[in-house]
Structures are given as C-alpha cells and as structure tokens.
Structure 1
Amino acid sequence: MRILHVVTAFPRAPGDIIAPWLIELLRRQRAAGLEVEVFAPAYRGGGNNEFEGIPVHRFRYFPGRWEDLTHDQGTVDRVGHSIRYKLMAPFYVLAGMRAAWRLARRRAFDIVHVHWPVPHALFGWAARRGSGGRTRLVTLWYGIELRWVKSRLPWLKQFLKWALRASDEVVAISSYTGREIAELVHVPVRVIPYGLGFAESLPNRATAPSRATDGTFLILYVGNLIPRKGVRYLIDALHRLPATIAAQLLILGEGTDRAKLEAQVRELGLDGRVTMPGRVPEPDLHRAFHNAKVLVLPSIVDQRGDTEGLGVVLLEALSVAIAKALERVATDPAFAARLAETGSRRVRERFGWGAIIAAWQECYAAALRKRPRV
C-alpha cells in the first residue's frame, strides 16, 4: 500500500527538527510494510527530495526569495501578522493543487493522507482527481484549524463541511476534536492519536540517566513561542515561586514571541534562571526530558477558540495556578513520583505506537473499501 502524506512543513535536511511525532509515524509505517512518500511545500526555492529514504515531493509556489510561508513558524501566525503572507496564500493553494494533481497522475498512490485539511484538503482532492478516482482521501484533523475558522474565518465554515464530506475517512487526533467535527457535520470520525516521537525508544525510569543532584528544580517547556502557547504565564509563574525553591526554566523552541519573552525575562530579573537556546537536536531534547523535573505546556484558548481577549483576572489566576502547581511538585516528592508513574503508564497504554499503526492500517483499508470518488 502506497501512502502520500500531505504536510505543511517537513525537515529540509538532517537535523532539521520539524514535527518529530510525524517523522516517527512515517518511520513506523515504513517498518510495518507501507510505502510512504511526502508532499510538502518548498522553502525559499529549495528543500530536500528525500529524508531517511522517504521520497519528498516539494512544490514551488512563489519566487524563491520570498517562499517562506511555511516552516520555522506556524503558517496561521504568519498569515495573521503580515499582509505579504495573506497575499501569498492563494498562490500557495493553487500551486499546491496543481502539483498534487500532476503528481497523482505520475504516481499510483492508494491513499493520500492530508494533515491540516485547511487548506490542504484541496491538495488531497486534486490528487484524487489526478488519479482518476483510484486514490482515496483521508483527512487528519488537529482541532486548531477548526477553532481558527470559527474564531477568525467564519466564511470558511462551508469549506470545512465540504472537506469533511469529501473525505473517504475522517480522523481526529482526540475525542475532543472528534466532538468539534460532529458539531459541524454528521460524518463518521475515527480517533487516532499520535505517539511520542521517541517515547518507546527512551530508557525506562530504572535505567534513565540520573537527574541533576544539585538541588535545582528544572522546569521544561518544549514548543513554538507563539501567543496561544501561553509561555508568558509560565515565566510569570516562575517569578511567583517562593525563593526557597531553586527553580530553573528551560524553554526549547522558536517563534514570533521570542523577543517579547526575552524582554519579560529581563523585566522580571530572571536572566540567570531562564535559558532559551531555541530549537535543539534530538539528542539534546532527549537529555532535556531526562533532566527536567516537570514539563509544563501552559496553552490557552478562550471561548472563541482564540488566544487573545482573555480577562486580566483570568490571566493573573492562570499564572498563580501554575506557580502553586509547580510549588507542590517541587516540595512533595511522593506526589511528584505518583504523577510521573501514572503518566508513564497512561502514555504506554493509550499512546503506544503498535496500536496507533494498527489503527491507521485499518483506517486505510476501510477507505479502500469505499466506492471510488472523483
């Protein structure tokens, strides 16, 4: 079975850290006997055509000097902050549809697996058309695209409904996202989560490298530095921790909020307690997970699905709540150990790659059993 994964961004060279959970999915699908290929946009005129033996088909959509709508930063955030990127978006969509159609005419794909269906469901639809209906369309919904349309682009609601109905199989990464889809249109929805990019290859707790023994309480954040991730509240929470807790914060990632966060660190006098090295190679990421006492992901979403416009009282309460939670983990070792053990067990039971790959194989098989559509 040959699968074409349609993505917004993909590693441009070895060591380029982009969506490690997606990379792990592709690796494990290959190990299970599936043929996987990737369809992705070019970046400033270039990008690789192969990654770890996986063919990568990149399409051009703008002159190379300005061809940076994707990669290094979320496309949604770029479009929201620049008129240039708004103007670039139609070229991206049209060029992607044309390239997907042409690729599907040349290559016989059984499944086109679309990540981020807004707007990439159009690419999948074009590929299915190019194949003469032989290729089946599977769309994977992450949730943020649904909330983005609801809060900022309500005129695209009909596009969401079309994309869902046009799919041979609809998949959500969580039951919550599945319920959001059900509110839009009545279609069967599978729930298939991601596993961790390296969870099952890491040593277990008994054999993991020992953590820092100097009394430092290391707090870790990994992700994009953009408003909806709420990193500013984590920094504020660090400032609120009692002086008796020797806490350090390690922030791994890049994004539009970096300069603001660095300024916040300076204003709060946390220069010696916050480290922001940006993106790091996978071995360094492994080491950070081993050494950290706690991982904090303080993402925020308001009732509209947006990240701005929250009341000041709520924002202050969020910072205080994070600080209180961190204080308990830092001062109650038994509680922290129970959290770690429960979390580890839940991850292995609910997010093991064996079950995830089996679920995708069943999804693809079900799509192929459907009547061909053009």
Structure 2
Amino acid sequence: MRILHLVTAFPRDERDIIAPWLVELIKRQRAAGHDAQVFAPSYHGSADHEFAGIPVHRFRYFFARWEALTHDESAADRMRRSLLYRLMPAPFVMAGMFAIWRLCRRERYDVVHVHWPVPLALWGWAARRARRAAVVLTFYGIELRWVKRALPFLTGFVRWACRRADRVVAISSETAREIRELVDVPVDVIPYTTSFPGRGDAPPRALASGDGRPVTILFVGRLVELKGLAYLIEAAARLRDRMPARIVAIGIGPERERLEALARERNIAVDFRNKVPDTELHLAFLTSDILVLPSIIDARGDTEGLGVALLDAMSYCIPVIASRVGGIPDIVEDGVSGLLVPPADPQALADAIERVAGDPVFARRLAEAGRERLRTRFSWDVITTKWDAIYRVASAALPSASSSRS
C-alpha cells in the first residue's frame, strides 16, 4: 500500500527532534512493506530528500530567506510576533494545494493521511482532486481548541473536512469528544506512543525514599503554561519539611526565566536542562524515581492532547502522576497505572508525590501496571495494526475506477 503523510513539519536531518512518534510509525509502515512517504513544507528553500530512509517531498511557498513558518517553532508563535508571518498562511496553504495536486497527478497513492486537518484538509482535498485516493484525517486536539477559542468561523470548515474524509481519527477519547461536539461523524481513537526502548522486562528502579537520598522527580515537556511545571515547584515547596526531593526539568520554552525565579523563591532544587540527546534523556529516565506531568488548562483554553511523556516513563517502569485533563486519563487509570490529581492543585500534587514516594510497594505496583498498560494499549504492534485496519477500510470504501466512470 502506498501511503502519503501530509504534515506541517518533518525532520530536516538527524539533529531535528520533530514528531519522533510519527517518524517511528512511518519507519514501521515501511518495514511492514508499505511505501510510506511524507509531504511537508520547505524550510529556507530546502528540496526533496530522504530522512531515515523515508522519502520526503518538500514544497516551496515563500522567498527562501523567510520560508520558516513551521519547523523551529510553531506557526502560531511565529504569527503572534510578526506581521509577515501573519500574512504567510495564505501562500503556505495555496502552494501546498498546488504542490500536492502535482505530486498526486504524477504518483499514485492508496491513502493520503492528513495530520493537522486545520488547514491541511485542503491539501487532502487537492490530492483527491488530482487522483482518487482514500483520505484519512488525524486530529490532535489543539487545532479544535484553536477553532473554538479564536477561529469560530472555521467551524464549518472542520465539518466540511470531516464529512468529506473517508475516516476521521483522534489521538484520545477527549479529542474524539471535541470532534463530535462540532460534527456528527464516526471517530476512531488511535493514540501515538513512545519511541523509546525503555527498560524491557527489567524490574522497576528502587525508590530513593527512606535511604536518605532525595526523591528525584522528573518532568519532561515544553516550559509553557500548559505543562504546569509551576504547580510542581509549588508542590515540592509543600513537601520540603516532609521528604527530601529534587526536580529534573527537561525542556525549553518561554517560561524558563519565570520558573527559575519561582524555584529560587521557593528554595526548591530544580535542575533545568534544555532539549537533550536521546542518550541523556534515557539516562534521566533510568535515574528518576517518579515522573510528574502536572498539565493544566491554560489561559488560552488549551490543554494536553495525550501526554506522551507518561508513556515514555511507563516504558522505563517509572510510576507516574499526572493531572486529570485532556487525553491523560486515556493513559493513566487512577490508582492502577498511576495517580491522577486535579489540575492546578499543588496540594493534591504534593500529597500524591508523598504517597508514591513513601510506599515503595505501591510505587512498584503502579510502575508495573503502567508498563503493562503500555504493552497492551499503547504498544507499536497495537497501534500499527489499528492503522492498517483504518487504511484498509478507507481504501475499500473508494469506488472502483469502472464505477466512477459510469
């Protein structure tokens, strides 16, 4: 089967950390015998190339010097800062439509898989106009919240895109619910998952609690309001007289200075690290006691689409604590494969951390149940099997060449 993935950004070289779960999915599709390829925008004039053996078709949409609407940061962030980038979505979408139409006139694909359908569903429509193919949409949640919060005039566009697609897929039950609020169509739920090998069947790491060492709490994510790291720092401040703890925070973002100041003010040991190589991230997981993802609903109404850092931790058999928001409850079954707490509640977060750190038997049970949940619900074998089924059903629903001419 020939599959074309339509994306807003894709790695330019091995140093790029962009959607590693999507790269892994495409690699696995190719290993299974599918001819999976990528259609993505250019970056400063970059041309077609291969990445990790995956053919990547790049299209030009602006003068090379300013051709950077995507990749290094989100298009929304660039558009907030620059009038030029606020004007760029129109040529971006139109150039993409023309380029995908030309590509699909030249090449035949069985499935066109559209990631981020707002606005990339237009590219899917252009691909289908060029040559008959099944169109599958994947929603990640944030684009739906953009529409509801700031772009309500695009509600009709979302309905149009979903009704014209052969299959509509959401990454979580919460995102599926948000789609159904806008349009009455069947929605499948297929999450993405971790690209890390984890610890395999090795036993969980023994908790530091009780041996005099501080408990190491790991946070992995962008330093933005949505991720809620400030509430973890506040929770650690509440724990100062009850148990020794330190936070390792891996990620970059505009909140870095504010969070560093908060940690100093609360006298909390936080080891802030930037984006790190996989080897260093692997070591961080191996040497941490608990992973905490304290996500919230931010001032713009956005929240966690899924929470892949939780799956990363489960692959290393680390107990997890997270907020009950967005797609997180799909991953964490409260009290079984982790603990869930109300968002933006540092006291509840502190109590959950103390409960896990103070009971190594309970922590081990959570960690082992988390690893089993990853294996049965979020493994690559499970996910690729679901995608194969979606593609087969979508392709089978297409009219045959003879029937389309009659």
* TM-score after normalising by structure 1: 0.88
Deviations 1:339-372 (A, max 9, x none): 1111111111111211211111111111111235
CA distance, structure 2, for counterparts of residue 16 and residue 208 of structure 1: 31
Q: C-alpha displacement at 1:52, in angstroms? A: 0.9
Whether the 8 Å CA contact 2:207–2:215 is kept in 1: the answer is no
CA distance, structure 1, for counterparts of residue 95 and residue 354 of structure 2: 51
More displaced stretch, 149-158 vs 229-238: 229-238
CA distance, structure 2, for counterparts of residue 257 and residue 89 of structure 1: 27
Q: C-alpha displacement at 1:220, in angstroms? A: 1.4
CA distance, structure 2, for counterparts of residue 121 and residue 113 of structure 1: 10
* 1:135-284 alignment runs, 5 A limit: 135-198=133-196, 201-206=197-202, 215-270=213-268, 273-284=269-280
Pick one of 330, 333, 338 that aligns with 2:365.
338
Q: Helix, strand or coil for the counterpart of 1:86? A: helix
CA distance, structure 1, for counterparts of residue 361 and residue 203 of structure 2: 20
Q: Helix, strand or coil for the counterpart of 1:296? A: strand
Identity of aligned residues (%): 54
Q: C-alpha displacement at 1:114, in angstroms? A: 0.9
Q: C-alpha displacement at 1:304, in angstroms? A: 7.9
Pick one of 286, 289, 294 that aligns with 2:285.
289
CA distance, structure 2, for counterparts of residue 105 and residue 159 of structure 1: 25
Amino acid at match of 2:37: E
Q: Check if 1:95 corresponds to 2:91.
A: no
Amino acid at match of 2:387: W
CA distance, structure 2, for counterparts of residue 62 and residue 214 of structure 1: 58
Deviations 1:53-104 (A, max 9, x none): 1011122222233222212333334434544432222222122222211221
Q: Check if 1:298 corresponds to 2:294.
A: yes
Q: C-alpha displacement at 1:268, in angstroms? A: 3.4
Q: C-alpha displacement at 1:233, in angstroms? A: 1.9
CA distance, structure 2, for counterparts of residue 316 and residue 166 of structure 1: 36
Whether the 8 Å CA contact 1:39–1:56 is kept in 2: the answer is yes
Q: C-alpha displacement at 1:144, in angstroms? A: 1.7
CA distance, structure 1, for counterparts of residue 232 and residue 66 of structure 2: 34
CA distance, structure 2, for counterparts of residue 316 and residue 165 of structure 1: 34
Q: Check if 1:325 corresponds to 2:323.
A: no
Amino acid at match of 2:198: L
* 1:298-317 alignment runs, 5 A limit: 298-301=294-297, 305-306=301-302
Amino acid at match of 1:28: R
Aligned to 2:332: none
Whether the 8 Å CA contact 2:6–2:114 is kept in 1: the answer is yes
CA distance, structure 2, for counterparts of residue 326 and residue 91 of structure 1: 49
CA distance, structure 1, for counterparts of residue 212 and residue 53 of structure 2: 43
Deviations 1:132-172 (A, max 9, x none): xx222110111221122111111111111011112111111
Aligned to 2:387: 360
Amino acid at match of 1:18: I
Q: Helix, strand or coil for the counterpart of 1:345? A: helix
Deviations 1:218-246 (A, max 9, x none): 11122222222222222222233224533
Assess, with a 3 A threshold, how the Cα gap between structure 1 residues 321 and 156 changes in structure 2: closer, same or farther.
same
* TM-score after normalising by structure 2: 0.81
Q: C-alpha displacement at 1:208, in angstroms? A: 7.3
CA distance, structure 2, for counterparts of residue 37 and residue 121 of structure 1: 17
Assess, with a 3 A threshold, how the Cα gap between structure 1 residues 256 and 126 changes in structure 2: closer, same or farther.
farther
Amino acid at match of 1:329: V
Stretches of structure 1 that go unaligned for 5 or more consecutive residues are 308-314
Amino acid at match of 1:22: L
Whether the 8 Å CA contact 1:72–1:254 is kept in 2: the answer is no
Q: C-alpha displacement at 1:255, in angstroms? A: 2.5
Aligned to 2:15: 15
* 1:77-92 alignment runs, 5 A limit: 77-92=77-92
CA distance, structure 1, for counterparts of residue 363 and residue 36 of structure 2: 40
Assess, with a 3 A threshold, how the Cα gap between structure 1 residues 325 and 44 changes in structure 2: closer, same or farther.
farther
CA distance, structure 2, for counterparts of residue 236 and residue 44 of structure 1: 42
CA distance, structure 2, for counterparts of residue 290 and residue 24 of structure 1: 22
CA distance, structure 2, for counterparts of residue 114 and residue 367 of structure 1: 13
Q: C-alpha displacement at 1:211, in angstroms? A: 8.0
Q: C-alpha displacement at 1:115, in angstroms? A: 0.9
Stretches of structure 2 that go unaligned for 5 or more consecutive residues are 304-341
CA distance, structure 2, for counterparts of residue 84 and residue 264 of structure 1: 35
* 1:107-126 alignment runs, 5 A limit: 107-126=107-126
Q: C-alpha displacement at 1:4, in angstroms? A: 0.8
CA distance, structure 2, for counterparts of residue 241 and residue 82 of structure 1: 43
Q: Helix, strand or coil for the counterpart of 2:155? A: helix
CA distance, structure 1, for counterparts of residue 16 and residue 194 of structure 2: 17
Q: Helix, strand or coil for the counterpart of 1:249? A: strand
Assess, with a 3 A threshold, how the Cα gap between structure 1 residues 58 and 317 changes in structure 2: closer, same or farther.
closer
